């Protein structure tokens, strides 16, 4: 006779499988701000990092957000020793090249393909660090009026004038 006892781990696995497959029907889709620009409002005038900053939101979901300050030489205060390349060169076939949803821009930490184009190509920005937010933190900051959300504008992101505040 078969043992009628089902291991607890099997029940947990089964419950998690149901949750994963049913979640698109239970939890409404999240409309983040990836591909949008955040413009600091006067509420951030006392913040030395974000005062008058413009940020391109690279990713934004329920777990948090990640973006790059585009009007300064640093992308943000997180991992400031790490270098990122923000670019519009879609014809490059490079490793670790992430397309930014809703834009014609890409981000990578692979500097090698850009070594000969930095001074002549206005479609390339080199930035140190990034800006990051925890779960729903950016949503709260927007709701409190710290950021104005505007559509992506390639000229604003990649023009040389935008990088001299």
In a domain, 80, yes or no: yes
Residue 4 within a domain: no
Helix (H) or strand (E) holding 87: strand 78-87
73: domain CATH number is: 3.40.1740.10
Closest C-alpha among 144, 141, 143 to residue 55: 141
Inside any domain, residue 6: no
Q: What's the pLDDT band for 1 if we cut at 50, 70, 90?
A: very low
What's the pLDDT tens digit per position in 29-68? Answer: 677 899 999 999 999 999 999 999 999 999 998 889 999 9
Domain that holds residue 72: 37-163
Whole-angstrom distance, CA of residue 128 vs CA of residue 108: 12
Q: Is residue 23 part of a domain?
A: no
92, part of any domain: yes
Helix-strand-coil split of the chain, %, nearest 5:
25, 30, 45
Rounded to an integer, the average pLDDT of 139-152 is 96
Instruction: State the pLDDT confidence band at 152, using cuts at 50, 70 and 90.
Output: very high
| Domain total in the chain | 1
* Cβ-based neighbour number of residue 29 at 10 Å: 6
Q: Is residue 24 a part of any domain in this protein?
A: no
**Closest by alpha carbon to 151, among 38, 75, 72?**
38
pTM: 0.78
Residue 76 lies in a domain: yes
Q: Which distant-in-sequence residues (6+ apart) come within 8 Å of 43 by Cβ? A: 144, 145, 146
Amino acid 93: pLDDT: 78
């Amino acid at each position: 006779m078969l043992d009628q006892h089902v291991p607890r781990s099997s029940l947990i696995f089964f419950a998690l499988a149901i949750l994963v497959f049913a979640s698109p029907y239970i939890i409404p889709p999240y409309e983040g701000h990836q591909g949008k620009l955040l413009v600091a409002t006067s509420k951030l005038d006392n913040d030395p990092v974000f005062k008058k900053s413009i940020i391109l939101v690279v990713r934004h979901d329920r777990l948090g957000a990640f973006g790059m300050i585009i009007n300064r030489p640093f992308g943000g205060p997180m991992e400031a020793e790490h270098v990122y390349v923000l670019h519009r060169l879609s014809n490059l076939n490079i490793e670790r090249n992430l397309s930014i949803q809703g834009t014609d821009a890409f981000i990578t930490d692979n500097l090698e393909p850009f070594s000969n184009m930095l001074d002549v190509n206005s479609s390339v920005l080199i930035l140190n660090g990034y800006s990051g937010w925890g779960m729903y933190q950016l949503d709260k900051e927007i709701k409190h009026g710290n950021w104005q959300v505007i559509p992506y504008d390639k000229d604003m992101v990649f023009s040389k004038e935008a990088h001299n505040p």
